Amino acid sequence: MANVLLIEDEPSLRNLYSHILSRKDYGVETANDGGDALVKLMQYKPDVILLDIIMPNIDGIVFLQILKNHPELKSIPMLMINPGPDIGTMKRCLDIGAAGYIMKDSTPEDIIRRVKTIVSSLGPG
């Protein structure tokens, strides 16, 4: 079973995504924002991070940059949660090192498919 750290400041979306992933047997830990997520990363080693772009305190792009510059955490794939079709922001995230993105209005099947694809690419272990 793969572990997912879900970083989303909107409680309804955080609960929805957590429920969707848990039903497919992913271990899910949640964080309200980037600051909360940095604390959780000290205790919880996720295989994948789902990361909202627009959040208070530390936004998703800054969080992505912090992790990609951290020697022990930079290899964790991050799937960005994009509120809309902002191609410039998504290109920036991919250039920094995001593994991909999903739209906030993605279907449960799309979310599971994207997470499963990333987890499969990690290989055994």
Residue at 40 is within a domain:
yes
Domain annotation covers residue 34: yes
Tokens of 40: 């959780």
Tokens of 34: 């980037």
Locate 31 and state its tokens: 């964080």
Beta bridge partners of 44: none
Give a yes or no: residue 10 inside a domain.
Answer: yes
* Residue 22 identity: S
| Residue-level pLDDT at 124 | 66
**Could you report how far apart the first and last alpha carbons of the chain are, in Å?**
10
Residue 125 forms part of a structural domain: no
pLDDT band at 87 (very low <50, low <70, confident <90, very high): confident
Residue 82 located in a structural domain: no
Q: Evaluate whether residue 9 is within a structural domain.
A: yes
Q: What CA dihedral angle connects 18, 77, 85 and 93, to 10 degrees? A: 140
Residue 113, in any domain of the structure: no
Owning domain of residue 35: 1-18+26-46
What pLDDT does 42 receive?
83
- Per the CB < 8 A criterion, the answer to whether 81 and 64 are in contact is no
pLDDT at 123 over 80: no
Q: How high is the pLDDT of residue 5? A: 97
Which tens digits make up the pLDDT trace of 20-60? Answer: 999 999 999 999 998 899 999 988 889 999 999 999 888 89
Is residue 104 within 8 Å of residue 8, measured between CB atoms?
Answer: no
Task: Name the residue type at position 60.
Answer: G
pTM: 0.92
Percent of the chain with pLDDT over 90: 67
Does residue 84 fall inside a structural domain? no
pLDDT category of residue 125 using cuts at 50, 70 and 90: low
Q: What is the pLDDT of residue 77?
A: 96
Number of domains in the chain: 1
Which burial class, exposed, middle or buried, applies to 24 when counting CB atoms under 10 A from its CB (0-12, 13-18, 19+)? middle
Q: Which amino acid is at 65?
A: Q
